[in-house]
Copies of this chain bind each other. A is one copy, B any other.
Amino acid sequence: MLTADHATELGEMFRLLGDPNRLRIVASCLSQPMSVGDIADTLDLSPSLTSHHLRLLRSARLLKGTRHGKQVFYDLPDCHVRQMLTNMIEHVTEPHDVDEAITEGEDP
């Protein structure tokens, strides 16, 4: 069972990954640490917006920032999360059929 507290905690992480730009930011740091400027350039986001998102991701420990001189590089400290994301990104590239209707179950 999932307690309300754990649902809030886990939900907070999913909520952060629920924004497309934030998800792209995290994804861009999956294979190697990325500087803020490189992330912003790669994803075509303003440095300010990128930094705002990075702050949220850092607060939730989804990303970890390491300063090297003027630049700060971000990467995923949690290998469990990294694996989950790698997995889901791979999964989302597969085709799937569409059916959102309520189906009828056969009689018992």
Chain A contacts to B: CB under 8 angstroms: 1-2, 4, 6-12, 14-24, 27-28, 58-61, 64-68, 72-73, 80, 84, 87-89, 91-93, 96, 98-100, 102-105, 108
Main secondary structure of the interface of A (DSSP, over half): helix
Tell me which residues across on chain B come within 8 A of A59, comparing CB atoms. Answer: 100
Count of chain copies: 2
Contact A19/B15 with A24-B4, A66-B104, A105-B67 known, Cβ cut-off 8 Å: yes
Whether A100 pairs with B67 at a CB distance below 8 angstroms is no
Whether B10 pairs with A67 at a CB distance below 8 angstroms is no
Whether A72 pairs with B10 at a CB distance below 8 angstroms is no
Closest B residue by C-beta to A78: B96
